[in-house]
Structure 1
Amino acid sequence: MKHKIAFFIGTLSTGGAERAVSNLTLNLSSEFDNNIILFENKAKVEYPYTGEIIKVRNVKASNVIYKCLALYYRMNIIKKMKKRNEIKTMISFLEYPNLINLLTRKYGKTVISVRNHMSTKHKKGLKSFFWKKTIKILYKKADKIVAVSHEIKNDLVTNYGIDEDKITIIYNSYPIQRINELSKEPIEEQYRNIFEHPVIITAGRLNKQKGQCHLIRAFSRVKALNPNAKLVILGEGELKEELEQLADELKIKQDVHFLGFQQNPFKYINKAKVFVLSSLYEGFPNALAEAMACGIPTISTDCLSGPREILAPTHIGVKNMSYEINREMFGVLTPVCRSNHLREKDSLLEEELTLANHIHHLLNNEDLRKYYANRSVERISDFNINHIIKEWENMISKFC
């Protein structure tokens, strides 16, 4: 008899958690019967998957009262769904699905996946206050918490009082062979002229978390030193117009290319010189790991959490981190940029200058690029989906 499980997430497009769900459903053993629960109003499906998709009907929530009613309504739907479909284990991803999963925990085993450094993400404001309280009260009631990095586990234990025995660390996994195959595909003719130049590339939602404004500002310095350089940004998000305006004000608009969400981002990444992750905080950044699977050198901010565990695992816990280029690492780390709103006329931050200098150094040192490209391929093998999927299967089997 198959183990009936459900993955609960808002959508199957654009995000790292969404891609993780896609990879899980595609690679879990056939002994598992997969359901994927999505919110109807966000139920965009752009990633491949296996299993049945179930959509939770949309509820309009324009104010706090209606949002509470919407939450109650969705809780009832999920509760009935758990009973009707006899789902023995529900695995949820991201805060809102985790909340609903935990509030309906009486009706099946509850596994939640925590994919961001919560104390960094929820620092201030009413919304952050709500999530701080919710995490402290409800997360300890989960049957199991899956954290995607050691730092996330430490955060949950230290700042939210979660029992460390309840938390299992399972790194994100990647279909490395498939990524490698996709990275070799040709890019569309309309973009080929861009990649005839030295390209710095990044990928992710266009929002404050990903720090693309800092990368664009750093690129203005790179461009002054490397006139032929181009910056390619993959992804969609609410800050697109603001980022385009910033590039325009810095007079580099013609050299910053927004290519939007791409079904196959790997074919662009593979043809760039350097991949840069400029995030202010992360959980375990898929974009960084997938760029490594494409076989190119990477630069990342040393944000909480994930990048250091990927690029410099022997430096976990080191307090006074040096941000010099270090061949002992699998890529280059830079300090996290301050997140205050910046204008084009503001002087570059020290962190942005460090990022710009490292990009410039890699662009102009072919031997170093080759070295870090090889280190990328070496390191990413540790996250092969064939190994890590077994950790998920073992964890799920304990509840079925």
Structure 2
Amino acid sequence: MKKELNILHISPYFNYVCGVSKYVYLVLKELKKLSDSDLKLNLHFITNGGDGLNRLLAAGIKPTLFTFKKGLINLVYLKNNIIQLEDFCLNNDIDVIHTHHRYPELLSSIIQKRIFSKTGKKIKTITTAHSIVKGYRSISFQSDKIIAVSNTIKKYLIDNYRIAEEKIIQQFNPVDRLNNKVKEKIGRNKYGIPDESKIILYVGRFSNEKGIKVLLKAFSEIVKHKNVFLMMISDANEKEQKKIISRNSKIIFIKPCDDITEYYQLTDIVVVPSLIESSLPYAAIESASNKKLLITSNIEVMKEFIEHNKHAIMFETDNHRALINAIYQAINMSEEKKHVMTENLYSLINMFDNPKNYANKLLSIYINL
């Protein structure tokens, strides 16, 4: 009889601009390809919604929707979520639960104990620590194994959550080698941008922890003195977009979608102003893949990969004046220096596994849990 492994991933808010969602998508898509005659993989995914679900459906993975949020409000959903998840795991004979947020991880730990007490089967649990978090120490990181997406996060977990080092697997996120050939390139005239203008691109969630405030404040100053436009591929709602555009007509919002290569190709500068420690953001990686000049905050995880003025221009985190100076430096940089810097940045891609190799390593972890 064919051996089977039933794997469940759980992650909230599966959105196009969310780095965690992109990670989950790349992993699930490649894991699906590894199912063969020796080991059949049955993949399941639970989320609470998001605008990127079509990406999963196109890869042949049908998500299951549960109602839950982020934060303390989940106490309202806890009892029902426990019942839902226990039923799901029993009905689908789940062997491994891989979570990507602390609330689903808490649920997986509870379910692991409940199902073991009822059936004697111990479901294996694993969580990926995607960013630095605080609080809830007694109920966090109870999984059998933890994947830390950077050395910064691994050290933080050991120092602040007293996690045993042998319980942590440090593994950088996979990087999809992008096909930079687009069917039809968009032109500046589509957005009313003159040829002589510089375009700055931001890709990511519209949240303070991603550095939105510092970016908008810096741009409001820059635009008074330089001929620049800011393109934002983000999940800002319509009200937020209208409010920002009413103050600055040189900010352009782009609706998130599956492939944004054409916007990288259109832009001159990519900015990643994040305030939180996480993995190396996919926007930075995609900037490298498209050989675009990168400006990034100097959080520790960035310094783990990037050297200031070698791979990118770095600025002091949450300092809009420092970001203004960084943008001026980028705008005034010679083509020769820009070429050297973007080539150096491009070379960093080789540090990361492609999704296929990453999925193979992950499957090995699942089997050996």
1:321 corresponds to: none
**CA distance in structure 1 between the aligned counterparts of 2:28 and 2:242, rounded to whole angstroms:** 36
**CA distance in structure 2 between the aligned counterparts of 1:373 and 1:187, rounded to whole angstroms:** 22
Query: 1:13 Cα deviation (Å)?
Result: 1.8
- Whether contact under 8 Å (1:75, 1:103) holds in the other structure is yes
1:90 corresponds to: 97
Secondary structure in 2 matching 1:145: strand
- Whether contact under 8 Å (1:200, 1:230) holds in the other structure is yes
Query: 1:185 Cα deviation (Å)?
Result: 4.5
Query: 1:33 Cα deviation (Å)?
Result: 2.5
| Residue 397 to residue 382, structure 1, CA distance change in 2 (3 Å) | same
1:297 corresponds to: 293
Gaps of 5+ in 2: 116-122
Secondary structure in 1 matching 2:257: coil
Do residues 47 (structure 1) and 42 (structure 2) align?
A: no
| Residue 204 to residue 6, structure 1, CA distance change in 2 (3 Å) | same
Secondary structure in 1 matching 2:266: coil
What is the TM-score of this pair, normalised by structure 2? 0.84
Query: 1:44 Cα deviation (Å)?
Result: 5.4
1:267 corresponds to: 262
Secondary structure in 2 matching 1:2: strand
| Residue 192 to residue 34, structure 1, CA distance change in 2 (3 Å) | same
**CA distance in structure 1 between the aligned counterparts of 2:69 and 2:126, rounded to whole angstroms:** 27
- Whether contact under 8 Å (1:171, 1:388) holds in the other structure is no
**CA distance in structure 2 between the aligned counterparts of 1:204 and 1:294, rounded to whole angstroms:** 17
- Whether contact under 8 Å (1:12, 1:47) holds in the other structure is no
1:355 corresponds to: 323
| Residue 81 to residue 185, structure 1, CA distance change in 2 (3 Å) | same
What is the TM-score of this pair, normalised by structure 1? 0.78
**CA distance in structure 2 between the aligned counterparts of 1:334 and 1:92, rounded to whole angstroms:** 33
Query: 1:201 Cα deviation (Å)?
Result: 0.6
**CA distance in structure 2 between the aligned counterparts of 1:195 and 1:389, rounded to whole angstroms:** 44
**CA distance in structure 1 between the aligned counterparts of 2:316 and 2:68, rounded to whole angstroms:** 42
| Residue 287 to residue 60, structure 1, CA distance change in 2 (3 Å) | closer
Do residues 165 (structure 1) and 166 (structure 2) align?
A: yes
Q: CA RMSD in A?
A: 2.7
The aligned runs of 1:251-266 (5 Å cut-off) are: 253-266=248-261
AA aligned opposite 1:102 = S
Gaps of 5+ in 1: 120-131, 313-324, 338-350
**CA distance in structure 1 between the aligned counterparts of 2:345 and 2:109, rounded to whole angstroms:** 38
| Residue 298 to residue 371, structure 1, CA distance change in 2 (3 Å) | same
**CA distance in structure 1 between the aligned counterparts of 2:336 and 2:192, rounded to whole angstroms:** 25
Deviation digits for residues 22-46 of structure 1, max 9, x if unmatched? 101111222432111122x558514
Query: 1:204 Cα deviation (Å)?
Result: 0.6
Query: 1:60 Cα deviation (Å)?
Result: 10
The aligned runs of 1:75-224 (5 Å cut-off) are: 75-106=82-113, 107=115, 108-119=123-134, 132-133=135-136, 136-178=137-179, 180-182=180-182, 185-187=184-186, 191=190, 193-194=192-193, 196=195, 197-224=197-224
2:343 corresponds to: 374
AA aligned opposite 2:35 = S
2:28 corresponds to: 25
Query: 1:393 Cα deviation (Å)?
Result: 2.5
Query: 1:275 Cα deviation (Å)?
Result: 0.5
Which of residues 7, 10, 13 in structure 2 aligns to 1:8?
10
| Residue 212 to residue 58, structure 1, CA distance change in 2 (3 Å) | closer
AA aligned opposite 1:91 = H
1:35 corresponds to: 44
| Residue 354 to residue 141, structure 1, CA distance change in 2 (3 Å) | closer
| Residue 160 to residue 60, structure 1, CA distance change in 2 (3 Å) | closer
| Residue 376 to residue 244, structure 1, CA distance change in 2 (3 Å) | farther
Query: 1:368 Cα deviation (Å)?
Result: 2.3
The aligned runs of 1:317-328 (5 Å cut-off) are: 325-327=308-310
Query: 1:277 Cα deviation (Å)?
Result: 0.5
Query: 1:219 Cα deviation (Å)?
Result: 1.8
**CA distance in structure 1 between the aligned counterparts of 2:187 and 2:345, rounded to whole angstroms:** 26
**CA distance in structure 1 between the aligned counterparts of 2:254 and 2:171, rounded to whole angstroms:** 32
1:277 corresponds to: 272
Secondary structure in 2 matching 1:4: strand
- Whether contact under 8 Å (1:139, 1:162) holds in the other structure is no
**CA distance in structure 2 between the aligned counterparts of 1:363 and 1:353, rounded to whole angstroms:** 15
2:77 corresponds to: 70
**CA distance in structure 2 between the aligned counterparts of 1:368 and 1:202, rounded to whole angstroms:** 22
2:363 corresponds to: 393
AA aligned opposite 1:5 = I
2:313 corresponds to: 332
| Residue 225 to residue 100, structure 1, CA distance change in 2 (3 Å) | same
